[in-house]
Amino acid sequence: MKKNLRNAFIAVLAMVGVSANAQTVVTFTAGTEKGTSMKDKNKDKMEKEGVVIESSNAALAQNPYRIYKNSKTTFSCSTANITKIVITEAKKAFDNKITGFAAENGWVVDGDAKTATWTGNASSVDIAAPNHQVRAGKIEVTIAAADPTTVAAPTISGETTFTEKTTVTLTAEGAKIYYTTNGDVPTEKSGFLYTKPFDLTATTTVKAIAVKDGKTSSVAEKTFTKEEVKVVNSIAEYKQLAAKEKATLKLNDAQVLYTWTTNKGNTSTYVRDNSGAILFYQVGANLELKQNEMLKGEITGTFDLYNKIPELVYAAGLTNLAKVERTAGSDATPKAIKVGEAMDNLCDLVALDKVKFTVEASTDKKGNPVKKFYVVDGDKKVQIYNGFHLDAYKDMAFDAETEYNVVGIVASVYKEVPSINIIKVEKNTTEGINTVATETINANAPMYNLAGQRVGKNYKGVVIQNGKKFINK
């Protein structure tokens, strides 16, 4: 009898030990698990295995994660309670260490300022960053083992921010789901029985429960917010918006001039219509816009100015191409400009013809000697820069004696000096033209600039038509 009791006691202890150790660690690694935001002043969140990390101001699509000053970050889990959170700073965190977080409410920042740790038992945990920005390389969330007798709350999914409508999907394995959209807590009698995804067209909080074998789960809820945004009729009008304002841009015969993605996955797409040009930031990465495509329709995004460069920034849940007609287009025509006109053509595809470079010696951040190239006209100048990291120009082997024809995007401004990110640079070869015509010939024949690109009748400068060079005025 005593032996049986002892064996039973050992079995109970073993079950307790298994239960105590049956926890799950969900790891978020910067660059692998990502949110949607690449910049500050944006809400952001990411989800993995039932764990949700949501911040009032963060860039969780960045590597490392950036959690900005004065933000609040919430950790929650729909399947079980959280028992531990460890936030580890990035390997190269500069001065933005974990000390940006407040060591309070159960959070402990270690002496070397490498990690911030919370331990406890809760379904939701908050941490504030009142001191400065935090850059984290890894976040580990430990969740307790789920009680096998407990019915898990349903999962509510769908775009939480929308402009017209959003589709909501509810899931709960092996259970019936009842939900409400009026703010009331659902029951089997008061809630709607979920059978299929449904649409929302106004700001709504969805609450849901799962029912299985006579047992009811806790209440899951999620708010879906309809954003009212204005509509503008051109790129020029869009650029008059206030910074961080969301709006819908009407596109009419707009064209993708150039698109470029960095090795960190940040995509810049330059778009022009009849009123001007703008940078679509991260829109190309999410929607795969292609160079020279013609665009017609509507696209919603957040307007911003980054170092004077006008941008339409991707807004999660709002930016899509559902209302944009895309067709293949011919090669975009560069706009012939003078040096002093570069600031008036930010984000546009431009051409500088028959220019000489001024070469300035400088050093990079590591103290290595570098050369910077400028085109100077009186008190105006523009930098010629391999900002798109094209292999053909990685050595920037230009000299100060040769005339060049430059094609590129006016892509940045530094200390009031605009920079043209080069797409093509060729030596000017117009010397030796014996016959110069001042009128076009055979107007229906295709016309090309000296870079070999087809141009329209309004192009100004030296062109080639029917195999002959002449100046088109």
The residue written with tokens 């011919």 in the block is 330
213: nearest Cα among 144, 148, 123:
148
Q: Does domain 155-226 have CATH number 3.30.420?
A: no
Please tell me the distance from the alpha carbon of residue 281 to that of residue 15, in angstroms, as a whole number.
54
Residues forming a β-bridge with 197: none
The two beta strands, 447-449 and 454-455, are: antiparallel
- 291 φ, ψ (degrees, to nearest 5): -55, 135
* The pLDDT value given to residue 41: 77
CA 306 remoteness from chain centre: 14
Q: Where in the chain is the domain with CATH 2.60.40?
A: 155-226
- Any idea which residue has 């092996």 for tokens? 174
Q: Residue 404: what pLDDT?
A: 94
The domain 230-328 having CATH identifier 2.40.50.140: the answer here is: yes
Task: Report the distance separating Cα 5 and Cα 407, nearest Å.
Answer: 87
pLDDT at 232: 95
* Residue 299 near residue 248, CB atoms below 8 Å: yes
The DSSP output letter for 12 is: H
Q: Taking Cα atoms as reference points, which of 225, 258, 240, 345 lies closest to residue 303?
A: 240
For domain 335-427, which architecture applies?
A: Beta Barrel (2.40)
pLDDT along the chain (473 residues), means of 10: 50 44 86 86 86 92 91 86 92 71 86 86 88 92 82 88 89 94 94 96 94 92 88 96 93 94 87 96 78 95 94 86 92 95 96 94 83 93 94 88 95 94 89 43 62 69 67 68
- Comma-separated ranges of CATH 2.60.120 domains in the chain: 24-143
CB neighbours of residue 87 within 10 Å: 27
> Distances in Å between the alpha carbon of 15 and those of 18, 184, 419?
5, 39, 68
Task: Name the one residue in this structure whose structure tokens are 């690449």.
Answer: 38
Q: Where does the chain hold its CATH 2.40.50.140 domain(s)? A: 230-328, 335-427
